[in-house]
Each structure stands twice: as structure tokens, then as C-alpha cells.
């Protein structure tokens, strides 16, 4: 257990250091007792300005715009055209499902951004300036060469993955090798200064609101509260706006501030978007949503599904390639689970009588016993992991006022440094776990693949199939609770924790794809109100058993094989073997 004890000793030393309008709702704030004060946010101002501009446009004479979008062999292509008016800066989207459309539009000067659908994702294939005049037709004609031969798909001609063809970027003067440089989109720049250059676990709040959303505090007040809470980082996630990042109060010399927003609607569910380098489009439809998810990741950001099974906003976007899932929102047992009645008909699709989508399977599981919305979110997560998802676990308090503490739960991210780029990298690599708070349990989870006593893979990493693997778990500050190991969502071991620093080691020989993760649990206090029989105190992200194949890389385009096998050589594993803690003689260390 030499290297396990190294992990344990380190735990005590880790520094904590087509729609015209969009509904701008927020999270349920019934538990945020501080009175909300009315504010005129930038998002409301933007909406008012847009509505005024649309009203003015109705008084203008109109002309006919004829759209014809096809490839060089004459096949018409389903598309979307975004018309940006030079006269009032309003953009309207036109759906062109058959590749041809005749549309009445107000007269004026426009820039047309033409997006063709590639496997359901809109890709920018042309930009043209047009003039619409009264009494005569105007034409928008596209004859697309890329992707026509059938050998290379359309997105092969997009080097930086921002869903804009290289040819179009060169034409418009943007950089085809920089995913933040896109025609028609303003580039956002984030603070990249380093607050701590040590590679270690950092803890922070991933989901909080300012007065630009449903919160009651200014950005500066929220940042100061996060500093006082002993956090290392904070993400302000107001709904469908990045206004907080432009606020003068969005600065700190003590904690890293992650540029972020909550994206989505109550009807379809919301995502947490971290580190976007262009402002994501408002939520409209699934194809546009998938494009935003892909684009954010190409820019080095992360796209995380938020509280997927909360009844007031269940996740129904059905996106692929997400970076994470919020498994723990607010108090673990606070919110009731959702049922199938909370989902729309598309989410309840069945094949041969069986529910197709993981969100519906999780909703149906309430018939199997009482559980909280967070427990149900873990079911959804495990179903998705079994289907091949590789995404980290995060938590968040959803705090919008001082009555709801920040960092309960708290998310730990292992990062090479305390900076926005470092945290985003750790998040994307899946190196995360969740704890009940800053004084809650800490855990480490790693795997020795070479059987040489060295941890080769940490959370978020991959171990190969058909090889004996030794897993090690180290836990700090969880006396009286139980450590539980899950494989594909099913408990395979449950071990009592009797000492402040405890650990286990177990060996597996995975022969098929699997996701291993761990959690700290206890029986719920019968006197506490809530849902479900278990109280959760910590949850890890998975270690995956996979063979790294082309199919795996295709299914998980953000997966980096070179970084999935990581020997952590920072403070997490000390080079010298420590003495045994006085309260943990060898006989008390559980062995499997």
C-alpha cells in the first residue's frame, strides 16, 4: 500500500487554494430567501432594442429574396440563412429545408451567412452581401464544391472545428486555424493570468447567479463572497448572457473567475457553458444547439449538462459530445425526482417497447424506489456512460444570494495551474470530483496499469481492456461513512471508513467497456426532510476501461489519448514514502 499511503498523506496537504424571441428564465430560487431587487440587465436592454428594431422593420416596404443552395452536382442542400441587416444590426434566421426558398424581406442592405447541414449540424459555407429592393427580386445563389465527392465530409474542410469552412474564413479575413475567429462573431478574450503555478486539486463553485440573472448580488459582491468562502475559483452562470464577464466587478487577485453562462430554456433544459470565445447563439433548436456545443469545445471551452432531471427543467436537448454532467445541484436530497410526465413526446421515444433515451429511462426509474432529483441525475449519467459517453462530473450550489452558501456542493478540478486555461483543461480532461463542501470529504482515485506500484491513470483517464488493473482509492475526512465503488452505475464494493485517512485497493481485469467511479455515502438522517434513503458526501468522475479505437475517437472527438494516461507527479503523489499516520496502523487499511 506504499503508493496508496502517499495519496493519503497528500490529501491532508493539498492546498485549496428561427425564433424571434428567447425566454430568459432562471433556476428555481424558492430557497433563496433574500428579496430580489429589480435590475435592468443588459439582456433586457438587448431584448428591448431588438423588439424596437423589429417593430420599425414592419413599417418598411419589402422585396423578394430568392434563395437557391445546391452543390456542384445539382443537389439542393438543406440550409439555414442568417440575414444580418447593416441598417439596424438585426439578424433574422431563415430555414431553407429544401435548399430553395422565396422570402419577403424589408428593403435594405444585408449580409447573408449561409449554413448547410452536415449530419444535422449547421456549417457556414458562404457569406454574401446582398441588397433587397422594392419591386424586383434579389438572389442568393450558392453552388457548393466542398463535401460533394463523397470521400471527404463537409467538416473536413474546417481546420479549426468552429463550423466555418476555411475558404469562407479566408474570404472574410478570419483565421481558419483559430476557433475563436469566426465570420460574423465577435471574439471574446479571457483573463489568463496564473494565480498559482502548482499542479494540484483546486476547488470552486461552478454554478452561481448575479443580478444579471436571477441573483440578488452585483458581480463584485458575488466575487467577494466567493473569496470569503475559501474557494479557488468561481463561475457566474447567468441565463443566456455573458454580461457578468463584462462587469467591472468581474476581477479578483485571489480566485480564478471562469467566464461562463447558463444556456437553454426551462422547457428543454439548460447547459453550463464554460470559457466560450464567442457568444453562443440563443437556444432555438437541437441542430443549432449541437453546433454551439461543438464550437465551444473547439474554442477550448466546456459544455456541461446542468441538473438534467430537475422536474422544472429536465434535459431534452439530446446533444452528443458534451464535456460533463452536473450530478449534484444544491442539497443532495432537496429536490424531488421528475417523472415521464415532465418530458415531451420526443424524449419518450420507444423502440420495440423500450425507452430509447437515457433521460426517459431515468425518469421511469422513480417506479423502482424513492430518490432525489440528484440521485436520478446519477442514473441518467450512468446510462450515458454505458452508452459510450466520456464526460466528467461536477456539482454546483445554484446560489443567487447570501442565503444559499457557495461551494455546497463544491467541485474539485485537478489543474496544471490555477488559471482559466488550466481549469478548463482539467475540466475537459475529466479530472474532477464533487464534495459536500469545503470541509467535506476529499478523495483520490487512480489506477496502476503496469503493476509497478505507480499510479498511471487518474480520474478522467482510460485503462485498456484485457489487462489486469489495480485501482486505488484514498479518502480523507469521512469517518463513519462508507466508500462505495461503482462499475457502470452498479455498486461492486462498499467499505466502512473508520479512520480520518483511509484507502482501499482492488484489482480488476476488464474485458468490456466499463466506467468505474467512487462515492462516499451514509444513511440519510430520518429527521431530515428530503428524498431518498442515502446521503451522498462525495462523488468522483470515472476511470474508463476502453480500447482506444477509431470508433472511440469518433464518438468522443474531444478525447485526447496522449493525456488519458497520466502519471500525476505533483503534490498528489509524493516521491518519498511517508510514515504511517498514527491513527491508521496497517491492519486497519482495507484490502481487496
CATH number at residue 304: 3.20.20.140
Would residue 591 count as lying in a domain? Answer: yes
The pLDDT tens digits of the residues spanning 40-58 come to 445 567 677 777 777 787 7
DSSP state, residue 216: S
Would residue 182 count as lying in a domain? Answer: no
Closest CA to 68 of 104, 108, 114: 114
Please tell me whether residues 316 and 328 are part of one structural domain.
Answer: yes
Looking at residues 461-475, what average pLDDT do you find? 94
Would residue 34 count as lying in a domain? Answer: yes
Please tell me whether residues 416 and 557 are part of one structural domain.
Answer: no
User: How would you classify the pairing of strands 260-265 and 501-508?
Assistant: unpaired
CA distance 558 to 278: 19
pLDDT over 90 (residue 582): no
Q: Which residues pair with 269 in a beta bridge?
A: 265
Please tell me whether residues 227 and 320 are part of one structural domain.
Answer: yes
Q: What is the pTM of this model?
A: 0.86
pLDDT of residue 29: 33
The pLDDT tens digits of the residues spanning 140-170 come to 999 999 998 777 899 999 999 999 999 999 9
State how many domains the chain has.
3
Please tell me whether residues 461 and 567 are part of one structural domain.
Answer: yes
Would residue 181 count as lying in a domain? Answer: no
Map grid coordinates 454546483 to a residue: 396
Please tell me whether residues 380 and 490 are part of one structural domain.
Answer: no
Please tell me whether residues 572 and 427 are part of one structural domain.
Answer: no
CA distance 463 to 561: 11
pLDDT of residue 431: 96
CA distance 470 to 467: 10
Question: Helix or strand or coil: residue 563?
Answer: helix
Buried b (16+ CB within 10 A) or exposed e, 42-71: bbeeeeeebeeeeeebeeeebbbbebebbb
Please tell me whether residues 579 and 459 are part of one structural domain.
Answer: yes
Identify the residue with better confidence: 27 or 409: 409
The pLDDT tens digits of the residues spanning 59-105 come to 889 999 999 999 999 999 999 999 999 988 889 999 999 999 999 99
Please tell me whether residues 488 and 522 are part of one structural domain.
Answer: yes
The residue segments making up the domain with residue 276 are: 18-59+195-431
Out of 137, 172, 207, pick the residue that ends a domain: 172
The pLDDT tens digits of the residues spanning 515-557 come to 999 999 999 998 899 999 999 999 999 999 998 766 666 555 5
Least confident of 20-34, 45-59, 76-90, 270-284: 20-34
Out of 377, 400, 431, pick the residue that ends a domain: 431
- Percent pLDDT > 70 in the chain is 84
CA distance 258 to 421: 9
pLDDT of residue 80: 97
Alpha helices by DSSP H, 275-348: 286-298
Please tell me whether residues 156 and 112 are part of one structural domain.
Answer: yes
pLDDT over 60 (residue 210): yes
CA distance 384 to 324: 11
Mean per-residue pLDDT of the chain: 87
Would residue 238 count as lying in a domain? Answer: yes
CATH number at residue 85: 2.60.40.10
The pLDDT tens digits of the residues spanning 482-506 come to 999 999 999 999 999 999 999 999 9
Would residue 551 count as lying in a domain? Answer: yes
Map grid coordinates 505533483 to a residue: 570
Closest CA to 477 of 495, 503, 459, 454: 503
For residues 339 and 531, the answer to whether their CB atoms sit within 8 Å is no
CA distance 558 to 124: 21
Would residue 131 count as lying in a domain? Answer: yes
The pLDDT tens digits of the residues spanning 325-350 come to 999 999 999 999 999 999 999 999 99
pLDDT of residue 486: 97
Please tell me whether residues 91 and 135 are part of one structural domain.
Answer: yes
Please tell me whether residues 262 and 121 are part of one structural domain.
Answer: no
Phi, psi of 215 (to 5 degrees): -80, 170
The continuous run of DSSP H or E covering 380 comes out as helix 373-386
Please tell me whether residues 52 and 67 are part of one structural domain.
Answer: no
Burial (CB < 10 A; 0-12, 13-18, 19+), residue 285, is middle
Out of 431, 456, 489, pick the residue that ends a domain: 431
Would residue 189 count as lying in a domain? Answer: no
Amino acid at each position: 500500500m506504499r503508493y496508496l499511503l502517499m495519496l493519503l498523506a497528500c490529501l491532508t496537504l493539498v492546498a485549496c487554494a428561427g425564433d424571434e424571441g428567447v425566454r430568459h428564465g432562471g433556476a428555481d430560487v424558492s430557497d433563496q430567501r433574500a428579496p430580489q431587487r429589480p435590475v435592468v440587465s443588459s439582456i433586457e436592454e438587448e431584448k428591448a432594442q431588438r423588439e424596437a428594431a423589429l417593430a420599425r422593420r414592419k413599417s418598411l416596404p419589402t422585396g423578394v429574396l430568392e434563395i437557391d443552395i445546391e452543390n456542384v452536382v445539382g443537389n439542393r442542400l438543406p440550409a439555414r440563412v442568417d440575414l444580418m441587416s447593416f441598417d439596424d444590426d438585426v439578424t433574422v434566421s431563415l430555414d431553407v429545408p429544401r435548399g430553395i426558398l422565396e422570402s419577403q424581406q424589408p428593403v435594405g442592405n444585408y449580409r447573408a451567412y449561409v449554413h448547410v447541414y452536415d449530419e444535422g449540424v449547421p456549417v457556414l459555407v458562404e457569406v454574401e452581401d446582398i441588397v433587397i429592393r422594392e419591386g424586383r427580386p434579389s438572389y442568393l445563389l450558392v453552388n457548393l464544391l466542398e463535401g460533394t465527392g463523397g470521400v471527404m465530409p463537409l467538416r473536413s474542410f474546417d481546420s479549426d472545428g468552429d463550423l466555418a469552412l476555411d475558404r469562407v474564413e479566408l474570404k472574410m479575413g478570419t483565421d481558419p486555424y483559430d476557433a475563436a475567429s469566426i465570420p460574423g462573431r465577435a471574439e471574446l478574450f479571457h483573463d489568463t493570468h496564473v494565480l498559482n503555478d502548482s499542479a494540484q486539486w483546486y476547488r470552486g463553485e461552478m454554478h452561481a447567479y448575479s443580478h444579471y440573472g436571477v441573483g440578488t448580488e452585483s458581480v463584485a459582491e458575488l466575487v467577494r463572497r466567493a473569496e470569503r468562502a475559501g474557494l479557488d475559483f468561481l463561475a457566474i452562470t447567468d441565463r443566456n448572457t455573458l454580461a457578468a464577464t463584462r462587469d467591472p466587478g468581474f476581477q479578483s487577485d485571489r480566485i480564478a473567475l471562469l467566464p461562463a453562462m447558463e444556456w437553454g430554456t426551462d422547457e428543454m433544459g439548460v447547459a453550463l457553458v464554460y470559457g466560450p470565445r464567442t457568444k453562443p447563439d440563443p437556444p432555438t433548436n437541437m441542430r443549432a444547439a449541437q453546433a454551439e456545443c461543438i464550437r465551444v469545445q473547439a474554442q477550448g471551452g466546456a459544455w456541461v449538462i446542468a441538473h438534467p432531471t430537475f422536474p422544472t427543467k429536465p434535459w431534452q436537448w439530446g446533444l452528443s459530445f458534451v464535456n460533463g454532467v452536473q450530478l449534484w445541484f444544491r442539497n443532495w436530497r432537496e429536490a424531488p425526482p421528475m417523472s415521464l410526465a415532465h418530458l415531451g413526446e420526443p424524449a419518450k421515444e420507444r423502440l420495440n417497447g423500450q425507452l430509447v433515451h437515457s433521460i426517459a429511462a431515468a425518469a421511469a426509474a422513480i417506479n423502482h424506489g424513492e430518490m432525489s432529483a440528484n440521485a436520478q441525475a446519477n442514473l441518467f449519467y450512468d446510462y450515458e456512460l454505458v452508452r459510450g459517453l466520456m464526460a466528467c462530473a461536477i456539482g454546483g450550489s445554484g446560489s443567487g444570494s447570501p442565503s444559499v452558501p457557495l461551494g455546497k456542493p463544491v467541485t474539485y478540478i485537478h489543474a496544471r495551474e490555477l488559471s482559466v486555461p488550466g481549469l478548463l483543461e482539467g475540466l475537459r480532461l475529466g479530472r474532477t470530483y464533487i464534495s459536500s463542501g469545503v470541509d467535506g470529504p476529499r478523495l483520490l482515485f487512480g489506477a496502476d496499469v503496469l503493476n509497478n506500484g505507480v499510479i498511471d491513470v487518474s480520474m478522467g483517464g482510460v485503462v485498456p481492456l484485457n489487462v489486469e488493473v489495480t485501482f486505488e482509492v484514498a479518502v480523507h475526512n469521512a469517518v463513519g461513512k462508507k466508500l462505495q465503488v461503482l462499475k457502470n452505475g452498479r455498486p461492486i464494493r462498499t467499505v466502512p471508513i473508520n479512520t480520518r485517512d483511509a484507502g482501499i485497493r482492488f484489482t480488476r481485469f476488464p474485458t468490456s467497456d466499463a466506467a468505474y467511479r467512487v462515492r462516499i455515502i451514509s444513511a440519510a438522517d430520518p429527521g431530515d426532510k428530503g428524498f431518498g434513503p442515502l446521503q451522498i458526501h462525495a462523488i468522483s468522475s470515472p476511470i474508463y476501461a476502453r480500447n482506444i479505437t477509431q470508433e472511440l475517437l469518433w464518438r468522443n472527438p474531444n478525447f485526447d489519448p496522449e493525456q488519458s494516461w497520466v502519471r500525476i507527479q505533483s503534490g498528489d503523489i509524493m516521491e518519498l514514502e511517508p510514515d504511517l499516520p498514527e491513527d491508521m496502523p496497517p491492519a486497519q487499511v482495507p484490502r481487496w
